[in-house]
A and B are shown apart, each in its own frame.
Chain A
Amino acid sequence: MTSPIDIPKDLMAASATPLILAILAKGDSYGYAIIRDIAVISDGALQWEDGMLYPILHRLEKRKLIESYAGQAPNGRKRKYYRLQRIGRRELTTQRQLWERLHNLIKTLGADVAHA
């Protein structure tokens, strides 16, 4: 397990949407599982503050990128699940392209600096 990355708040906020959408693209999920998945996929490098996830999920729901439905945990507890909507899938594609372009740009600039 890698140590947590100290990501600035604004970058964390910007990356939250594509990360959540990407997790939901794999299948319906709920808050605790999304946070756990993020930690597992990033090998512990990305540690979100648990409580801050829900306001983001609620905002994505308002934008109709995802939708929620009531479900039940295996122990019978009420659980709110989220599923990706068609607009959300399109948004995920757009966000992926944007991040890739940014990544390539930074890489190119980095290479230029290295050669200079």
Chain B
Amino acid sequence: MFELDRAVRDYAHEIAGHCAASVNVAELKDHLYCLIERYQETGLDEQSAFAAAVSSLGERGDLRAAYEADLSWPQRLLRWDQRWQRRLIGRFSTRQLTTIVVLYSLLCAGLILARPTWLTWVFLVWALPTVTLCSDARIQRAEYDFLRRLFRRNPNAR
């Protein structure tokens, strides 16, 4: 069943849901509700009014890009990090992510302990953020699995 508030929230977060932008999300949500109310006055039901409002706001990709253009460099980095984490979480299980983190860490440690060359340092500069990313993703994946189990056990909990 269509839930208007949820649809509005998801849309606003998809477009402007990057760090330090909660005001922008609220602003976009307000605009979306104004448009929905206008379309509902013309006789459209909630779902159709939402679809019409979203299309009035413009093409999603263009909008996301326009919002992202306003980001500072640290925010962009964080956004990139979040995107990769989401991808990793979607692709790997907690166990697989743990294995990746452990293997990467062992490889890095081995390379440092062996005779490090400039190539080793290049590899480490690339590998360390990847290990951090996988490690963060692993924690989030574990949280996600835990919450899923919790909600499955108690479906009425919110």
Could you list which residues of chain A lie within 8 angstroms of chain B, going by C-beta atoms? 30-32, 49-52, 54-55, 58-59, 62, 68, 70, 73, 77-80
Contact = CB atoms under 8 A, between A and B. Distances in A.
B31 A52 contact: no
B79 to A, nearest CB: 15
Contact of B27 (A49, A62, A80): A80
Q: What DSSP secondary structure best describes chain B's contact surface? A: helix
B19 interface: no
Contact of A70 (B23, B62, B66, B67): B23
B49 interface: no
A54 B33 contact: no
Interface in B18-76: 23-24, 26-31, 33-35, 56-58, 62-63, 66-67, 69-70
Interface of B: 15-16, 23-24, 26-31, 33-35, 56-58, 62-63, 66-67, 69-70
A58 B63 contact: no
24 contacts: A30-B27, A30-B30, A31-B27, A32-B34, A32-B35, A49-B56, A49-B58, A50-B57, A50-B58, A51-B15, A51-B31, A51-B57, A51-B62, A52-B63, A52-B66, A54-B16, A55-B66, A55-B67, A55-B69, A58-B24, A59-B70, A77-B33, A78-B30, A79-B27
B58 A52 contact: yes
Query: Which of B27, B34, B67 counts the most chain A CB atoms within 10 A?
Result: B27
A54 B24 contact: yes
A61 to B, nearest CB: 10
B63 A51 contact: yes
A32 B66 CA distance: 18
A16 B69 CA distance: 17
Contact of B30 (A55, A68, A80): A80
